Every structure is written in C-alpha cells, then in structure tokens.
C-alpha cells in the first residue's frame, strides 16, 4: 500500500514534504491484524505558501486525479489502496524546531493546532490497548461510524473512575460508558484542549453508538458482540 501511495504524495508535496508517518492505530498499538484502516500523517513545511484549506483541497484533487476515489472527512481524506482504507491527514508544521502542526477542519471551515506525537504517547500511556482493540473489532464488524482517535479517547474516559478488572469486565466498563455517559461527554485533544474531538460526530451519529453499545451490553454471549 505504501509503495503505491508514497510516490503520489511525494510528487504532490515536492520539497515541502517533511514526512509521511503512521499516526493511527498501528503507531499506538491499538490496531487489529484483521483491520484494514491506516492513518498517514503528512506534515508540510511551515514555508508552504498555501493555506490549510488549499493544502487539503489540492491533496484531494491529486488523489482524485490518480483514481483513488477520495472521500472528504473532517481533517482527513479517505482513499482505498490495495484493499486498505487509508486516511490521509495533511497538515502544516508550526515551525522547524517543534512537532506542533496545524490541520484543516472541514466541517467548521477552520483550523486547529495539534501534535500527533503527543497523541501516540497519550494512548500508549493509557494502558488500555487490549480493551481498545476489542472495541475496534466491534466497531469494524458491526460497521459503526466511530473515528479511531475519538474511540481511543472514549475508552480511556470510560476508566476515569474505574479500577482494573478482568479484560471481559473492562470491556463491559467501556460499553457501559458508551451506552450511558458517551453521548454528552466532552472529549478533547490531549495536545490541544481547544480541539473538541467529540465534535467529530454529530448528535445523531453519537446516538447510534449509544444504541449499539446498549445492544452489546444486553448480549448473552461474546459471539454476539465480536467474533
């Protein structure tokens, strides 16, 4: 997948490209072997003249020109490559002496500051990778619309006032939160508290997660939740 996609991104970005790096589940240790979702972060130099919106739109146009059937999401562009669903996250580095980046937020037509390195460290430090992987299996197998970073942060929020138990008990704790406190929970970016991650889904989309989680809680066997 990378051998096909990287040359396209490099050609598009030219000398302004700083990196093409995994920023999602694989980097955080929350990916499943059966998963086909990959997040690639594409930071451009602070010297890039285009605005964040122009960067986003031009990357979308290039993916369309290459026949990759791109889809616009909030901060990313989804493409399908060799059986993988890839989220491309273009950004612009604040300066060459740090790792803070600005991303375009399409739904609000604005920008936000974040730090992907902080995201990876935060999720790893949370110590809930096993629970997260099971909830991601549930999401993927049931085909729920639940962005990965939002899901990862929601899992950590579920344990804000809970101790450690067995894996089965812990997963139930997550579903209990998703079925009850999730809909109104304000979940923020650990790298920038002004970035409200829970805004990634509108109320109706969050309500679907709530309903599905309650269904999981009422399941009589694990096979009814994940297989």
Give residue 123's pLDDT.
95
Three-state DSSP state, 221 = coil
Q: State the Cα–Cα distance between residues 41 and 36, nearest whole angstrom.
A: 16
* DSSP annotation of 74: S
Report the topology of domain 127-224: Poly(a)-polymerase, middle domain (1.10.1410)
The predicted-structure confidence for 2-50, as pLDDT tens digits, reads as follows 889 999 999 999 999 999 998 877 778 787 766 657 889 999 999 999 9
What tokens were used for 167? 């894996």
Q: What is the mean pLDDT of residues 164-186?
A: 95
Angle between helix 129-142 and helix 148-158 axes, rounded to 10 deg = 130
Provide the percentage of residues in the chain whose pLDDT is more than 90: 78
Give residue 83's pLDDT.
83
Give residue 82's pLDDT.
86
The predicted-structure confidence for 100-116, as pLDDT tens digits, reads as follows 999 999 988 999 999 99
Q: State the Cα–Cα distance between residues 75 and 150, nearest whole angstrom.
A: 13
Give CB contacts under 8 A, 24+ apart, made by 145-148: 145/201, 145/205, 145/208, 146/201, 146/209, 147/74, 147/200, 147/201, 148/24, 148/25, 148/30, 148/37, 148/39
Which architecture, in CATH terms, is 2-120?
A: 2-Layer Sandwich (3.30)
Give residue 137's pLDDT.
94
- The number of residues in the chain equals 227
The predicted-structure confidence for 210-223, as pLDDT tens digits, reads as follows 999 999 999 999 99
Provide the strand spans (E) within the chain. 21-22, 37-44, 71-72, 77-81, 84-93, 101-105, 110-114, 188-189, 192-196
- Ordered by start, the domain boundaries in the chain are 2-120, 127-224
Q: Strand 37-44 vs strand 77-81: parallel, antiparallel, or unpaired?
A: unpaired
């Amino acid at each position: 997948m990378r051998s096909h996609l990287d040359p396209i991104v490099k050609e598009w970005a030219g000398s302004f490209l700083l990196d093409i790096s995994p920023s999602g589940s694989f980097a955080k240790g929350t990916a499943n072997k059966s998963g086909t979702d990959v997040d690639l972060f594409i930071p451009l130099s602070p010297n890039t003249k285009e605005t964040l919106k122009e960067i986003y739109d031009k990357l979308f146009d290039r993916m369309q020109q290459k026949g990759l059937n791109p889809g616009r999401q909030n901060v990313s562009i989804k493409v399908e490559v060799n059986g993988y669903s890839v989220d491309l996250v273009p950004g612009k580095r604040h300066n060459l002496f740090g790792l803070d980046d600005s991303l375009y937020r399409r739904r609000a037509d604005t920008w936000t500051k974040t730090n992907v390195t902080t995201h990876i460290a935060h999720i790893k430090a949370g110590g809930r990778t096993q629970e997260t992987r099971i909830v991601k299996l549930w999401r993927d197998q049931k085909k729920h619309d639940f962005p990965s970073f939002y899901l990862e942060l929601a899992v950590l929020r579920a344990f804000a006032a809970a101790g450690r138990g067995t894996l089965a008990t812990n997963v139930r704790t997550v579903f209990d939160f998703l079925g009850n406190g999730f809909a109104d929970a304000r979940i923020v970016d650990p790298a920038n508290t002004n970035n409200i991650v829970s805004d990634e889904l509108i109320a109706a989309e969050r309500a679907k997660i709530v309903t599905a989680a309650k269904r999981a809680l009422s399941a009589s066997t694990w096979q009814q939740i994940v297989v």
